[in-house]
Amino acid sequence: MTESHLDRTSKRSEFILLGLFLGLGLLHALAYVFIVPPWQHYDEPTHFEVAWLTARLGRHPTVEDYDPEFSREVAQSMVDSGFYSGLANTPDLSADAQVQIPGYDQFEEQPLYYYLASLPLKLYQSDEIANELRAVRLVSVLLFLATIVAAWGIARTMTRPGHPLRWMVPAFVVLLPAFTDLMSAVNNDVLAVAAFSYFLWGAARLLKSGYTILNFTWVVLSMILVYYSKNTAYVAFALLPLVMVVALVPKHLRWGAWTAAFIIGLIGIAFSMKFDDAAYWHRTIAQSDPLRQKDVQAVHGDYALVLDTWSRTNPPWTPPTYLLLPLDVSRNLKDRPMTLGYWVWANQAVKINSPILGTPLMQAGDTIQVDQVPSFHAYHVTMPPSSIRMWLSLRPNPDNNQETRLYYDGFLLVDGHRPLDEAPQFTDMNGAEGTWGGSEFTNYLRNGSIEHSWPRVEPRLDNLLARILPDKARPSLILNSILDWPATQIMFRQTYQYMMETFWARFGWGHVPLSWPAAYQVLNWTFLLGLLGAVAGTIRHIRSSSWDWFIMIFLSAGLIWFADLVRGVGYFTSNDLYVPPSRYAFPAIIPIAVILCFGWYELARLIGAGMKYLVKPGNAPSEEQADGRKSLAEFLLAGWFIGALVLLAVLSLLSISFFYKNIG
């Protein structure tokens, strides 16, 4: 049999395999289309609203295009389908009520997904709005199938013929329950996933075979698709220049190109930092000057906290700056009588809100008058019974329209109700201890004297990225949250756990779990073992020519997952923490599938190698037997891999069915 014939046979087998994956993916997705009740995906009602209005108007709608009859029909369908079962906030559907579709409006999102989603609504109309919803879900299913093709293509581009990743990666994408659930929903996350997947495929082709008309056009078109999808896929814009430059370098020199890129990246990060902001004070304000500035009127030490009240904040719902208490401190302050004190002055006489001491159950503060001379202010507060999270926020809101600059110093939070007409006396430079009202105190606030600094992002870059990043999170705020682990760990721990559950199998609006809760522990360890195996495999291949693949896959997965992990940093001063699900990380579904599948394969290989050493020398297998055992090992790996995913898929569909049946 000739080599060309074998090559044709191999290619034919791979395309047959692709057809099987597409068929299985279609069946899996259709199961979710019809088993999941209407409106039971993240923000599905408001995404459908934009698609429906796009179909009717022939353009991308705005909030002014509100359609009362459509909104009432959707709300009625939500009630009829059991969406509000067990909930207290059933909408008012009386004749004179102005019905609003619940959820965040999507009118400011990029329009491409909604133009695609509007196509079936132009061709098909039904008396039941839920049937039109399912028709739009089918558009998402088509994008799911396109993503399966991309997974197959990327694995094929990255590996040699016959490598297990060629079937493991697309199989994982096809059978992962939470991903299939998302990709059968009316949601622009679906287009972001498909767009980033095709960018990654084009990047893989460019790195493998260099610049051709096809590869270059592919990357350019995929970037246009990314831009018009959703900002969760915009990591592609950071990767694009790296890919296009490295692709110009001969393959035997690319290790040098990647090393140079790494060094340049570190230098760029160093130059984008300023180390002059007030330590532990989380910055959301756009002011260019640091929060920590030297001032001759500083009451304790040389520095004051300076706030330009006319500067905007990002995210817009957050206070300009706030100080979090470490969890090991705040959890011990419940039910305590306490006193908050501080010095404040301004560049002009003005009435402002005092600093606000907050917990999820309490917001304490006052209105005060300040002028150009530092004055001491304080108020009493009794902490609520539960104080797991506690913060001090500055939201002064001056009562004039002029540019007011405020100066703060000497913040302190102490036990007991201290005299409000007497200023404390600090006994150390950090403002951590002193006397007040004739008795000693320990200050529970860190850096209340503003003497210590920590880094922030260079203002121009900080303000630029704050307009682009998801949830308008300011890079300086993200950096502050990472550095302030003693206070922020509660969010990051909860986010990691929730991301693991929603990555594998948590459905609806995040409220539909697996019927077997212990499965999440098994899945979490399975995920971690995959990462461990991937690291081990990367070390084993460190001298190979696969640098491009390893770096691109780990970099794209790492950046997107990191963006999801820190998405909730803008909600620390909210009553409820926002814990983001993994749907924002699903644009990296193919990179994470490659990493996990590669890791599991490496672990299976290591286990097989270990078992080989257990064979006595006299009973060592012949070469033919070894090849046979290798084939058997890969067969067993395939059986375990497919079997586990199918079992999880079946358990997920049963869990969804049982959940909605029980609440119905």
CATH number of the domain at 418, please: 2.60.120
Q: How far is CA 566 from CA 380, 405, 537, in A?
A: 34, 31, 28
At 3 the pLDDT is 55
For residues 503 and 444, membership in a common domain is answered with no
At 629 the pLDDT is 47
pLDDT band at 614 (very low <50, low <70, confident <90, very high): low
- Give the range of the structural domain holding residue 546, as residue numbers without chain letter: 489-663
For residues 573 and 635, membership in a common domain is answered with yes
At 498 the pLDDT is 97
Domain assignment present for 467: no
Residue 574, sorted as left (phi over 0), alpha (psi -120 to 50) or beta, turns out to be beta
Mean pLDDT of the chain: 90
DSSP symbols for 41-57: STTHHHHHHHHHHHHHH
Mean local confidence (pLDDT), 503-517: 95
**Residue 436 in this model has a pLDDT that exceeds 80:** yes
For residues 548 and 656, membership in a common domain is answered with yes
At 628 the pLDDT is 43
Residue where a domain terminates, one of 417, 441, 457: 457
Q: What are phi and psi of 338, to 5 degrees?
A: -140, 165
pLDDT per residue as tens digits for the range 161-218: 888 999 999 999 999 999 999 999 999 999 999 999 999 999 999 999 989 999 999 9
At 610 the pLDDT is 62
Mean local confidence (pLDDT), 494-514: 96
Q: How far apart are CA 654 and CA 664, in angstroms?
A: 15
For residues 524 and 393, membership in a common domain is answered with no
**Residue 630 in this model has a pLDDT that exceeds 60:** no
Token pair for 92: 């008012």
Domain assignment present for 532: yes
Which residue type does 281 have? W
Token pair for 266: 């570190």
* Residue 432 CB contacts under 8 Å (≥ 6 apart), including other chains: 442, 443, 448
pLDDT per residue as tens digits for the range 373-406: 999 999 999 999 877 899 999 999 988 777 899 9
Per the structure, how many domains does the chain have? 3
**Bridge partners (DSSP) listed for residue 293:** 304
For residues 443 and 558, membership in a common domain is answered with no
Residue 141: its H or E element: helix 129-158
pLDDT per residue as tens digits for the range 293-322: 999 999 999 999 999 999 999 888 999 999
Contact 220, 235 (CB under 8 A): no
For residues 352 and 495, membership in a common domain is answered with no
At 162 the pLDDT is 86
At 469 the pLDDT is 85
For residues 31 and 90, membership in a common domain is answered with yes
pLDDT band at 120 (very low <50, low <70, confident <90, very high): very high
Which residue type does 311 have? S
- 3-class secondary structure for 632-657? HHHHHHHHHHHHHHHHHHHHHHHHHH
At 87 the pLDDT is 80
Domain assignment present for 258: no
For residues 508 and 580, membership in a common domain is answered with yes
Q: What are phi and psi of 110, to 5 degrees?
A: -60, 145
Percent of residues, the chain, with pLDDT higher than 90:
73
Contact 219, 76 (CB under 8 A): no
Residue where a domain terminates, one of 415, 441, 457: 457
Domain assignment present for 372: yes
At 403 the pLDDT is 87
Render the burial of 97-132: b for 16+ CB within 10 Å, e for the rest: eebbbbeebbbebbbbbbebbbebbeeeeeeebbeb
Residue where a domain terminates, one of 173, 193, 213: 193
pLDDT band at 6 (very low <50, low <70, confident <90, very high): low
At 401 the pLDDT is 72
pLDDT band at 44 (very low <50, low <70, confident <90, very high): very high
Mean local confidence (pLDDT), 511-515: 95
pLDDT band at 361 (very low <50, low <70, confident <90, very high): confident
Classified as helix, coil or strand, 457 is: strand
For residues 544 and 398, membership in a common domain is answered with no
Contact 572, 391 (CB under 8 A): yes
pLDDT per residue as tens digits for the range 52-94: 999 999 999 999 999 999 999 999 999 999 888 878 788 888 8
For residues 342 and 451, membership in a common domain is answered with yes
Strand order in the sheet with 425-426: 425-426, 433-436, 439-442
Contact 530, 596 (CB under 8 A): yes
Q: What is the pTM of this model?
A: 0.91
At 4 the pLDDT is 61
**Residue 622 in this model has a pLDDT that exceeds 80:** no
Q: How far apart are CA 181 and CA 652, in angstroms?
A: 10
Domain assignment present for 277: no
pLDDT per residue as tens digits for the range 316-358: 899 999 999 999 999 899 889 999 999 999 999 999 999 999 9
pLDDT band at 631 (very low <50, low <70, confident <90, very high): low
Which residue type does 541 have? H
Domain assignment present for 630: yes
For residues 604 and 647, membership in a common domain is answered with yes
Beta strands, E only, 402-544: 405-415, 425-426, 433-436, 439-442, 453-457
pLDDT band at 625 (very low <50, low <70, confident <90, very high): very low
Cis peptide bond prior to 315, omega within 30° of 0: yes
pLDDT band at 611 (very low <50, low <70, confident <90, very high): low
pLDDT band at 470 (very low <50, low <70, confident <90, very high): confident
For residues 400 and 522, membership in a common domain is answered with no
Q: What are phi and psi of 374, to 5 degrees?
A: -55, 130
pLDDT band at 484 (very low <50, low <70, confident <90, very high): very high
Q: What are phi and psi of 76, to 5 degrees?
A: -65, -40
Percent of residues, the chain, with pLDDT higher than 70:
93
Domain assignment present for 241: no
At 627 the pLDDT is 44
Domain assignment present for 330: yes
Provide the 10 A C-beta neighbour count for residue 475.
Answer: 22
**Residue 613 in this model has a pLDDT that exceeds 50:** yes
